[in-house]
Structure 1
Amino acid sequence: MITDPSALNAGGLRSQWLAGYQPQLRISEIGKLAAIGDGIAWIEGLPSAAMDQILRFENGSEALVFHLGSKRIGAILLGQEEGLAAGAAAHLTGRRLDIGVGDGFLGRVVDPLGNPLDGGPQPKFTRRRALEVPSPPITARDFVRRPLLSGSKMVDTMIPIGKGQRQLIIGDAGTGKSSLAMDTIIAQKGRDVLCVYVLISQKRSAVVATIETLRQAGVLDISCVVVAEATTTPGLKFLAPFAGCALAEEWMWGGRDVLVVYDDLTTHARAYRELSLLLRRPPGREAYPGDIFYLHARLLERSTCLASRYGSGSMTALPIVETEQGEIAAYIPTNLISITDGQIYLDPALYARGFLPAIDITRSVSRIGGKAQLPAIKAEAGRMKLDFLQFLELEVFTRFGSRLEAGVDAKIQRGRLLRELLKQERLAPLSPEQHLAWLVAYNEGAFDALAGEAVQGRLARLLHQAAAGGPGLAAGRDAWRDAVAGWLQEACDEPPA
């Protein structure tokens, strides 16, 4: 039956509509915009409004219901058209907030509502997905068994990450947290892993630099960047990680592997605190609302590895959190540590000494990734990690200037060599074969007689040889030992540059 008379001609169609018209009582709620400011709208009326429901104002602006009061409801402005002012009529739409999803978002930069920010057309999508949905049930989850390679020597050998894991990156400002996450995304090139990078309350210069780095590394076409700039409203900053998670979930439920980076959840928590205070919610510890833990728990719990009957897809989360003066026991960091499956701690003291990436292995842990580590790397890394931990304990004695036993001094020298080997430049992720090559060379003592720049030179040539080809990860240790010995001999025979 045709119900819209405005779409009909003045002839027979109008008479057809009149013939089918049935008089009946029609009731609709109309609210009134009472106040607006700081990205928040207060609406009177609309007694049937529900949480997370979208409202539409008479000028086309939309808002998301976020607070239900006895006399007013508070809403987050999603889009503010010109002319929106107090007194405007508001209507319920019956819709919940969702975002377009699909492969059309690969290579694109969008805002939390899915609108393009890169100057291109609207991304093509076949369906839409709600920003907030329940996390997968326990019956749909599987054990973490497959490694997600980061390309970092320290991470892949001592703090491994598995597909479906939630690994926190934590440290002070300026210690390289975003760089480590960027390297991990670059390491996914050619590994059939899609990436979502969520930038929350970042400066435009930082956003542009991030996008350009991904483009130059050749991984922007397998990535989607969700941006909520520092100048945007707290409501859009709050929605940004949920939008990125919705995009990643679509690929995960489609049987694909996804890596999502939340950079960072400290600013996300501050945006949520600002939003809650604007909505006059009761403040709690450090003025954060009482549900701040639930906010991040319901976000990160959506990252998992699905069982085979659900497609075996996975979503690996790398949330980033910032500490102040190394205070790892602060409110938001401890919340996230308790939610995630491990953390990578970047120490400002190591960063100041030039040890990059500045990962403090004594405060970092992966509670799951070791079960997904490649067997060949796991076997070699076990010996190396023990040497490094012993060295960190023994190095304390060198500060007193006392004479050490020969065995202790040898361990310290070997530990210093290992620390030199673990240094790594930005944007230079290694393959598993390269990891295995330098691990075998170290465990066989191939670098013991070298020091300083000679170590880095020999290591660079070894990694170049390993990248060109090797026995393969399935080969035995003897095959790798022979291959590494041959590569090192070739490096020794080369004339110095």
Structure 2
Amino acid sequence: MTSPTSAPPAPPGIASGRVLAVRGPVVDIRFQRLPPIGQALHLPLDGESITLVVFQHLDETRVRAIALHPTDGVARGLAVSDTGGPLAVPIGDDCLGRLLDVLGRPLDGGPPLSAARLCPILSAAPPLADTVPAETMLPTGIKVIDLLCPFVRGGKTGLFGGAGVGKTVLMMEFMRAVSSLYQGVSVFAGVGERIREGHELWHEMRESGVMARAVLVFGQMDESPGVRYHAGFTGLTYAEYLRDHGHAEVLFLMDNLYRFVQAGTEISGLLGRMPASVGYQPTLLTEVASLEERILSTRNGAITAVQAVYVPADDMSDPAVTAILAHLDASVILSREQAARGIYPAVDPLASGSRLLDPRRVGERHYRLARAVREHLARYKELEDIIAMLGVEELSADDQRVVARARRLQRYLTQPFQVVAEHTGLPGVTVALETTLGDCEHFLDGAYDQLSEEECYMRGAMPS
């Protein structure tokens, strides 16, 4: 996978301008008639063309634009053409199975997509009257998620965690599970992805046979902040097209949403805006909402979104994290403490949650068992300091029983994944929700009290 350094030749322009100044990806341009904010521009250079996006009006004749390609060789006085519209990508069913960049051009060495129909990547959300509420559960086969923080079909889920706690692995396992369980289509938006990660994902998906029903869009880490900012919108545009044209179950994955926020912060600084809290851009809430509010289910189909979110310094009160949390239906918090104990997936069962975990939606039994498991794990956490200082023998008989069952439950909620089976040596497993509920019921009733903790660790269903 290579990063393109130039855009295709520019179409005939509607209005012409001249470059006034260039500072890295920032280009100031003078026009006789100002193009609107968000307009795409083309700057011809050495037989190719640089794509720019208008972000700011400086006065009656000058605009400030961000280039999506390297600006090496751009000089004052060069002509710039207005394309007459915002950034747009070619859409159609031939997008399936392809690896694309932010402008919808192939990165996989294949032929370009048919340009018969172009769709702007920055568009309004569907009218409220056309949307359908997301009220049903999407079982994933991942025990801890299905039990304690069930995903919402047609909803938005965030995977939160610091570096190295397993966000990408969990997202890839979910992508594989949904492709095999529901035969849906997947759109993956790599926002600020490392090139190594992009290569690995592409090859793994081709080898596993799910690439034919997926679209990958990458805005790589070494590219302009304008590319990283728009990559999520490009991926979402393809997801909306697939939802509205015969693919009822669309999975939209983004890794990493925090890099989208970072790209917006870079652009804001380049435009000279005064930073707001903790150095973030003053438009943080608007930018996050412009992406999240388009992830909706309509009568044509559902987009289920799963977004990895890096948590800086493991601080869940960070303004970017709280801005994202406000839009989500379910949040899966990955804990460094869990990972240090060898508990994978490293989901914090007490901090994670879902609005779907309600007896009216998941049923009385599921709700009761989830609550009982949380109570056991919470009680164990309360007693950890006492156990460390005095030993478990100093606890009451009831507390000793709760701690023993909580430790077994904690290990039961681990699970080997298929996407890392080659590295761990453990074959991946998928566990049905009904099986998970039955096993948890037996743990809570004491049916597995005679088992060692090792017998509950890294396995699928318990023996009947």
Give the TM-score, by structure 2 length: 0.85
The Cα offsets for residues 157-181 of structure 1, whole Å up to 9 and x where unpaired, read as 1100111211221111111111111
Matching residue of 1:363: 351
1:290 CA displacement: 1.1
2:52 paired with 1:63? yes
Cα distance change, pair 29–246 in 1 and its aligned pair in 2 (3 A): closer
- Tell me the secondary structure at the aligned position of residue 449 of structure 1: coil
- 5 Å matches for 1:468-483? none
The aligned residue for residue 187 of structure 2 is: 196
Q: What do the CA deviations read for 1:359-382 (whole angstroms, capped 9, x no partner)?
A: 112111112365654887556545
Number of the residue aligned with 1:115:
105
Distance 2:365 2:185 in 1: 26
1:351 aligns with 2:343: no
SS at match of 2:331: strand
Match in the other structure for 2:197: 206
Displacement of 1:82: 8.5
Q: 2:122 aligns with which of 105, 109, 132?
A: 132
Residue 140 of structure 1: CA displacement?
2.0
- The answer to whether 1:413 aligns with 2:404 is yes
Alpha carbon RMSD of aligned pairs, Å?
Answer: 2.7
Structure 2 counterpart of 1:353, one-letter code: R
Give CA-to-partner distance per residue, 1:108-142, whole Å, 9 cap, x none: 21111111111111134663321111122332222
Distance in 1 between the 2:279 and 2:362 partners?
A: 41
Counterpart Cα distance in 2 of 1:358 and 1:80: 40
- 1:331 corresponds, among 298, 313, 319, to 319
Task: Provide the residue aligned with 1:239 in structure 2.
Answer: 230
**Aligned counterparts of 1:185 and 1:375: Cα–Cα separation in 2:** 29
Change (3 A) 1:80 1:426: same
Q: CA deviation at 1:66?
A: 1.6
Q: C-alpha separation between the residues in 1 aligned to 2:192 and 2:121?
A: 19
The SS at the match of 1:115 is coil
CA contact (8 A) 2:26 2:64 kept: yes
Q: What is the CA distance between 1:89 and its match in structure 2?
A: 1.4
Task: Indicate the larger mover: 180-189 or 424-433.
Answer: 424-433
Aligned residue-pair number: 433
The answer to whether the Cα contact below 8 Å between 1:163 and 1:314 also exists between their aligned partners in 2 is: yes
1:265 aligned onto 2:257:
yes
CA deviations on 1:401-456 (whole Å, 9 max, x unpaired) are 26122122111111111111111123335242553553455355443211133334
Instruction: Pick the aligned partner of 1:161 from 127, 144, 151.
Output: 151
Letter in 2 for 1:106: L
1:142 to 116, 126, 132: 132
- Distance change (3 Å), C-alpha of 1:195 and 1:379: farther
What amino acid sits opposite 1:357 in the alignment?
P
Query: Pick from 105, 116, 140: which aligns with 2:95?
Result: 105
Q: 1:393 to 1:83 in 2, by over 3 A?
A: closer
> How far is 1:100 from its partner?
1.9
Q: Percent identity over the alignment? A: 26
> Is 2:443 the counterpart of 1:454?
no
CA distance in 2, matches of 1:155, 1:281: 41
Distance change in 2, residues 1:251/1:57 (3 Å):
same
1:398 is paired with a residue whose SS is helix
- Which of residues 233, 237, 244 is equivalent to 1:253? 244
How far apart in 1 are the matches of 2:68 and 2:142? 39
Measure the CA separation in 2 of the matches of 1:207 and 1:289.
Answer: 28
In structure 2, what is the Cα distance between the partners aligned to 1:216 and 1:379?
A: 41
What is the rounded CA distance, in whole Å, between the counterparts of 2:172 and 2:357 in structure 1? 19
**What is residue 47 of structure 1 aligned with on the other side?**
33
**Displacement of 1:242:** 0.5
Unaligned runs of 5+ in 1: 1-26, 464-486, 489-497
> 1:99, 1:114 within 8 Å by CA — same for their partners in 2?
yes
CA contact (8 A) 2:140 2:146 kept: yes
The letter of the residue matching 2:415 is: Q
Deviation, 1:216, is: 3.5
- In structure 2, do the counterparts of structure 1 residues 407 and 282 end up closer, same or farther at CA, with 3 Å as the change threshold? closer
Correspondences of 1:358-437 after superposition (within 5 Å): 358-368=346-356, 370=358, 373=362, 381-401=370-390, 403-427=394-418, 428=428, 430-432=430-432, 434-436=435-437
Aligned AA for 1:266? Y
State the distance in 2 between where 1:212 and 1:374 align.
Answer: 40
Q: Is the 8 A contact 1:161 1:369 kept in 2?
A: no
1:67/1:75 contact within 8 Å kept: yes
Deviates more, 1:389-398 or 1:340-349: 389-398
Which residue matches 1:228?
A: 219
Question: Which runs of 5 or more structure 2 residues have no equivalent in the other structure?
Answer: 1-12, 419-427
Q: In 2, distance between residues paired with 1:364 and 1:343?
A: 6
Identify if the C-alpha distance between structure 1 residues 131 and 145 changes in structure 2 by more than 3 Å, giving closer, same or farther: same
Secondary structure of 1:34's partner?
Answer: strand
Inter-CA distance 386–124: structure 2 relative to 1 (3 Å threshold): farther
Q: Is the 8 A contact 2:156 2:295 kept in 1?
A: yes
Residues 74-107 of structure 1: CA deviation (Å, up to 9, x unaligned): 1222456986432111222212211122332222
- Secondary structure in 2 matching 1:261: strand
Q: CA deviation at 1:291?
A: 0.7
